Chain A
Amino acid sequence: MVERALPEASVSSAPIAGAAPRRGASIWSALLAEPRVVIAGGFLVLLALAAIFAPLIAPHNPLEQDLMLNTLPPAWVDGAEPGYLLGTDSLGRDLLSRMIYGGRVALTVALVAAFAAGLIGTVLGLLAGFFGGWIDAAVSRLIDIWMAFPPVLLSILLVAVIGTGLTSVILAIVVIDWTRFCRVVRSETLQQARMDYVDAAVVLGTSRWRILFVEILPNLLPVVVVLLSLEMGIAVIVEAVLSFVGLSVSSDMPTWGGLIAEGRQIIYQAWWVLVFPLVLLFATVLAFNQLGDGLRRLVDPVLLR
Chain B
Amino acid sequence: MSAPLLEISGLSARLRRPPHSPLLRSVSLTVAAGEVHGLVGESGAGKSTIGKAILDILPDAIELCGGTIRFAGEDLTTMPAARLRKLLGTEIALIPQDPMTALNPSRQVGSQLTDGLRLRRGLKGAALKQKAIELLRDVQIADPERVLALYPHEISGGMRQRILIAAAFSLDPKLIIADEPTTALDVTVQKEVLRMIRNMQKIHGTGVVFVTHDLGVVAQVCDRLTVLYGGMVVEQGETAAILASPSHGYTRALIDATPRHDRAGTGMQPIPAGIVADLKAQLSRYGFGPSGHV
Q: Which residue numbers of A lie inside 8 Å of B, CB to CB?
A: 3-4, 8-9, 11-13, 15-16, 18-20, 22-23, 132, 195-197, 199-206, 215, 218-219, 221, 301-302, 304
- Inter-chain contact A15/B140, CB cutoff 8 Å: no
CB of B155 closer than 8 Å to a CB of A: yes
- Whether A301 contacts B89 by the Cβ 8 Å rule is no
Task: List chain A residues, Cβ under 8 A from B278.
Answer: none
Q: Which residue of A lies closest to B119 (CB)?
A: A204
Partner of B94, one of A18, A20, A199, A219: A199
B147 within 8 A of A: yes
Indicate whether B151 reaches chain A with its CB closer than 8 angstroms. yes
Question: What are the 4 closest A-B residue pairs judged by CB atoms, nearest first?
Answer: A15-B156, A196-B102, A196-B96, A218-B106
Closest chain B CB from A192 CB (angstroms): 9
Neighbouring B residues of A16 by C-beta, 8 Å: 141-143, 146-147, 155, 159
Q: Is the CB of B97 within 8 A of A203?
A: no
Q: Can you report 11 residue pairs joining A to B where beta carbons are below 8 Å apart?
A: A19-B154, A132-B60, A196-B102, A200-B102, A203-B88, A203-B94, A204-B88, A204-B119, A219-B106, A301-B153, A302-B153
Q: Is the CB of B104 within 8 A of A197?
A: yes
Besides the known contacts A9-B142, A16-B141, A199-B102, 7 further A-B residue pairs in the complex with CB atoms under 8 A apart: A13-B143, A16-B147, A197-B112, A199-B57, A203-B89, A301-B105, A301-B153
Chain B positions 102 through 138: 1 when the CB is less than 8 Å from some CB of chain A, otherwise 0:
1111110000100110011000000000000000000
| Inter-chain contact total with CB atoms closer than 8 Å | 102
Cβ-defined contact, A301 with B191, below 8 A: no
B10 within 8 A of A: no
Which residues in window 159-173 of B have CB below 8 A to A? 159, 162, 164, 167
Interface, chain B (partner A; CB < 8 A): 52, 55-57, 60, 85-86, 88-89, 92-94, 96-98, 101-107, 112, 115-116, 119-120, 140-143, 146-147, 149-151, 153-156, 158-159, 162, 164, 167, 188, 191-192, 195
Chain A positions within 8 Å of B158 at CB level: 15
A296 to chain B, nearest CB (A): 14
Q: Which residues of B contact A204 (CB under 8 A)?
A: 88-89, 115-116, 119-120
Give the chain B neighbours of A201 by CB distance below 8 A: 115
Q: Which residues of A contact B60 (CB under 8 A)?
A: 132
- Cβ–Cβ < 8 Å partners of B102 in chain A: 195-197, 199-200
**Complex alpha-carbon distance, A199 and B59, angstroms:** 10
A227 to B164 CA separation, bound complex (whole angstroms): 33
Q: A15-B156, A15-B158, A19-B154 are in contact. Are A197 and B103 (CB under 8 A)?
A: yes
Closest chain-B Cβ to A247's Cβ sits at a distance in Å of: 42
A203 touching B140 by the CB < 8 A rule?
no
In chain B, what residue has the closest Cβ to A197? Answer: B104
Contacts of A18 in B (CB 8 A): 156
Q: Which one of A4, A16, A22, A301 has the highest number of Cβ atoms from chain B below 10 Å of its Cβ?
A: A16
